[in-house]
């Protein structure tokens, strides 16, 4: 099978990233961009982000997860700690996040270290989830091989019955990670592939060094 995609081309010309728009702290710029992406519309899930980890097999792996909160410290998402992703992070906490907001022709690429958030914070978020999502956290041994779809459906039914008319607690193996950035790159598409790229790098004194990269 062969398909030539060399004619897939797009001219990026919606915005620019000028020096006057570069804020002192990258989290401020991230918040500004996130609001602009939401207001512009067209991205169904602007909080969808790619996370790259180094697996137990030493191969990198990417997958999409949902950002649930960001603070001055970093970016929070939730997962099964026993999943392939969770185990990879617990062994090697160095990860990379990336957002692609095609509606404004923007990317944000974040390198950082992930760590578990406090249990009470995971409890608080878990309480806000719909019951179906709570039950699926119990029913799914995430990333494990299963014999059939019926096996999964039967496990879900088991936990539906177990917690019927009861409060559904958070499983100990499920919770949040926060990714604390050491670098954040903001990429704005520009015509003729002369894109704007601004990178923030965290210094030992916790100030951010700001540089422009060639496209």
Q: Report the catalytic residues.
A: 193
Please provide the DSSP assignment of the chain as one string. Answer: -----TT------S----GGG--SSHHHHHHHHHHHHHHH---S-TTEEEEEEE-TTS-EEEEEEE--EE-SS-EEEEEETTSHHHHHHHH--EEEEEEEETTTTEEEEEEEEEEEPPHHHHHHHHHHS-HHHHHHHHH--TT---S-HHHHHHHHHHHHHHTTTS--PPPTTEEEEEEEEEEEEEEE--GGG--EEEEEEE-TTS-EEEEEE--
């Amino acid at each position: 099978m062969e398909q030539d995609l060399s004619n897939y081309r797009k001219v990026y010309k919606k915005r620019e990233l000028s020096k006057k728009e570069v804020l002192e702290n990258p989290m401020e710029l991230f918040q500004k961009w996130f609001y602009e992406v939401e207001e512009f519309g067209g991205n169904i899930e602007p909080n969808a982000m790619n996370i790259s980890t180094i697996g137990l097999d030493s191969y990198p792996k990417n997958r999409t997860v949902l950002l649930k909160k960001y603070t001055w410290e970093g970016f929070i998402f939730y997962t099964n700690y026993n999943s392939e992703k969770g185990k990879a992070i617990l062994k090697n906490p160095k990860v990379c996040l990336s957002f692609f907001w095609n509606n404004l022709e923007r990317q944000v690429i974040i390198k950082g270290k992930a760590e578990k958030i406090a249990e009470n914070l995971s409890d608080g978020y878990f309480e806000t989830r719909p019951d179906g999502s709570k039950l699926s956290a119990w029913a799914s041994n995430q990333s494990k091989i299963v014999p059939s779809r019926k096996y999964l459906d039967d496990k879900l039914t088991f936990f539906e019955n177990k917690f019927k008319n009861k409060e559904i607690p958070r499983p100990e193996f499920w919770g949040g990670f926060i990714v604390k950035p050491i670098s954040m790159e903001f990429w704005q598409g520009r015509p003729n592939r002369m894109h704007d790229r601004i990178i923030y790098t965290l210094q030992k004194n916790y100030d951010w060094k700001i540089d422009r990269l060639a496209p």
